[in-house]
Structure 1
């Protein structure tokens, strides 16, 4: 007898209205809260790169934005998403990216609801969808990863469905991998999941069919690997993930790569405690490989907050079939497989379109500028300087406004040492780093957060003059003839 629990045969498709209503509701929610999608300043430089791709009819292979890494090899594994955002922006201003991101978010949760309704009652499916939405809301922004989320759910649900049936995935899934590889670098996770789900399917398959099943999964895995290389960069898109993983000490310094924070109650803690409580109350058990997958996703979510959306969206897919056998499956209505009337679908699409147009005429969608150095960059441009030492978070705004940054959000381009040195310099963990970088790169001006330690030091440092400051950013201009030394003269009085 297999040590793995057997899975029930895949039930008939449920009535689509659940997925339809979930998709419509999520779309309306995010369009109405559209400016939430634009709170990340990275959206601006993503659109800038997308416009460059459209203007040049090519994808970037070297850096053309910073002055520190200009000409160095760099590829954009998110080129298709960046192009889509740029085209949407060109078509409808900031309403375009908001609507595009909202459509993809809605599609993601509609696909999740559709899959879960095959295994659970509509009430249970909605609870799981609501939990996933609560976990991912902070990460749902108009950035490339959002456009890849529905592709991820469709891909993984196809793999899990094949494993549940003790069969092999359909080769019709391969275009999804090719699309994912052009939208976002997270496609590597989709490739990595092929192996554990293949083991799950083969181990639980009939002994007489295991060899054949293993070969079919192996063929699919190789085909998926080939499909992931169907990008303008070929297999370099696959290798690009190594640069992210090689960032080492730099990763914990980036907000979205930091581990989960349980110092105050949050959605992740509530969901985890609820899950543990349900398992203890109902005596729920999972097959070993599904436990491994669940724990792997949980480890990623705990060690880096940017993985929270993969945990929220994929774990329900992994556990749906074995969990349904223990807490109950779909009701009789869900087994009828009644499709929604086409008239209903058309009417809902028309209503959402009309609502979007009406809402966009009343609400002005625009990026959240509260933390962006808008006024400071305006003043900076008047100085006609080309070598500016900037705060890491300001890099994207500088790119979007035609100013070459010292550093920006493309951390894989700059590398671990460069990023860590910059962080230690701007935070004065190592003041000598600041002096060295200012000298090494012949910095003409600095654009740093007003409250940063480096800004305070520059106020007193020989050779630098504060020419602009506000609540967000401060500009220091290097005085003509100033000499940078390892230990520059520091005045006790602000200049």
Structure 2
């Protein structure tokens, strides 16, 4: 009785139960202050450029219009709405726009996570989960489409889990979340896949007499969610687009975010995993069978692909919350009606954040990291008016943003497994013959490679190639018949 009364008092008092708000405010401020950290990925550049193309043409892309190697090939963007949002924000506020947009989405995701957990767990336990989730997600929190989908993912899965906790089917008001997610990022397929195991969890824990009707209601919801997931400009093709990513096979391990977890050095993932195992052993935590399978499935994804660590970090607490609340204590009951004082507090906080954002953006310059922006090299390259440039993978986004057709860029699903693997082997000289084959096959006029790359250093020794520009970031070699190598010794690519 005492606990119930205390929770009711905390929920009714306007100044209490606001942990999710403060979590959101703190995380927003953190990522705003570290805004340039959100712009370190070169893919941000081409994402904004695609969004600008859609604004100009009032259409979504159906074919590639950027590269010279794949121009005209079928290509759809399952991230079109996020790209549009980034482009609009950039048009309004320069680089401050994407930073604020991404920081707001990140803050919203963690505020939603904290709100879900706080209704089931104590404040201290909620903060532990939030801190662990933040540590695991930071490496992949960038101004890219997936970040805008994070709050939708948390809200969607949180809604499914809450329904399973009540031994009920999810309400149909969740369906607009699936439609929104499907237009923001291709990861919406995971949201559809999770319906079945969460439904099974609800059914297995329901009373025997209610199971048949519960199965039917979850099935209807699942079909409705599938329809909602097809409510995109591309229809059901959006569902198939994710298959192209998974079909990249040998290309995926070559992309940093798709590599398996590396425990060669101590990192946040290992620390959180070991602490979680230790706590479970110490407290004797017990979970229902389907919750165990869900947790193990998310863990497998995180171990197999580094980028899935954020999914584990944000969704595992949702899965654990209800079972843990029965074993280590419950949280604060949700207030049935928002009080005027609380609404005023929310409005006041929002106004303060807006004013602080404008003030900070007026004195701080946000810009992409220079390591992925070969500014001087591309300026020199554009003077040559060339159409066939062999570029480093990380430079593709900058080339697209500056109107230069790349050989390859971050749209790996467009280029396919073999093309990507061949390019990687060529630029890294794992297979030097690939470099010369690709240069000849695609009639390359110049190369734009990282100055420290093996391919750039090799071309210094090759007759017929002239180094015309080099700085700390990028080097340009121009194909020039009769040009003698500039660095000893000479290397003959035709030699066997």
TM over 0.5: yes
Query: For residue 4 of structure 1, what is the aligned residue in structure 2?
Result: none
Shift of 1:187: 0.2
CA distance in 1, matches of 2:184, 2:381: 34
Whether the 8 Å CA contact 1:461–1:491 is kept in 2: the answer is: no
Q: Does 1:427 align with 2:428?
A: yes
How far the C-alpha of 1:199 sits from its partner, in A, is: 0.7
- Deviation of 1:370 (Å): 2.8
RMSD between superposed Cα atoms in Å? 2.0
* Counterpart-to-counterpart distance in 1, 2:195 and 2:402: 42
TM-score by length of 2: 0.93
Is the deviation greater in 292-301 or in 149-158? Answer: 292-301
Map of 2:4 onto structure 1: none
Q: Distance in 1 between matches of 2:488 and 2:438?
A: 20
In 1, Cα distance between equivalents of 2:425 and 2:372:
21
- 1:217 is matched with 218
Shift of 1:336: 6.0
1:471 counterpart SS class: coil
Q: Superposition pairs for residues 146-295 of structure 1, below 5 Å?
A: 146-295=147-296
Residues 392-418 of structure 1 deviation map (CA, whole Å, 9 limit, x = unaligned): 111011101110000000000000000
Tell me, yes or no, if the aligned pair for 2:40 and 2:372 is still in contact at 8 Å: no
**Corresponding residue of 2:3:** none
2:448 is paired with a residue of what secondary structure?
A: strand
Please name the residue that 1:129 is paired with: 130
Give the 5 Å matches for 1:60-459. Answer: 60-330=61-331, 334=333, 339=338, 341-459=342-460
Q: CA deviation at 1:462?
A: 2.2
Query: 1:30 Cα shift?
Result: 1.2
- 5+ residue gaps in structure 2? 1-6
Change (3 A) 1:240 1:481: farther
Aligned counterpart, 2:489: 492
Q: CA deviation at 1:477?
A: 0.6
> Does structure 2 retain, via aligned residues, the 8 Å contact 1:297–1:310?
yes
**What are the Cα deviations for residues 138-166 of structure 1, in whole angstroms up to 9, with x where unaligned?**
11111000000000000000000111111
Aligned to 2:371, what secondary structure does the other structure show? coil
- Paired with 1:288 and 1:481, the residues of 2 have a C-alpha distance of 71
1:372 is displaced (CA, Å) by 2.5
Whether the 8 Å contact between 1:16 and 1:339 is mirrored in structure 2 is no
- Take 2:70 and 2:390, find their aligned partners in 1: how far apart are those partners? 13
Partner of 1:405, secondary structure, is coil
Match of 2:42 in 1: 41
Unpaired segments of 5 or more residues in structure 1?
1-10, 483-487
1:23–1:106 CA contact under 8 A, matched in 2: yes
Asked whether the equivalents of residues 117 and 125 of structure 1 are also in contact (C-alpha less than 8 Å), the reply is: yes
Q: Report the Cα distance in structure 1 between the residues aligned to 2:336 and 2:213, rounded to whole angstroms.
A: 32
Deviations along 1:106-146, whole A, 9 cap, x unmatched? Answer: 11011001000011111111111111111111111110000
Give distance in 2, aligned partners of 1:45 and 1:427.
Answer: 23
Aligned to 2:53: 52
Call closer, same or farther: CA 1:325–1:434 in 2, change over 3 Å.
Answer: same
Give me the whole-angstrom Cα distance separating, in 2, the residues matched to 1:480 and 1:462: 8
Deviations 1:426-448 (A, max 9, x none): 11111111111111100000111
Take 2:285 and 2:131, find their aligned partners in 1: how far apart are those partners? 21
Normalised by the length of structure 1, the TM-score is 0.93
- The structural deviation recorded for 1:471 is 1.6
CA deviations 1:74-102 (Å, max 9, x no partner) are 00000000000000011111111111111
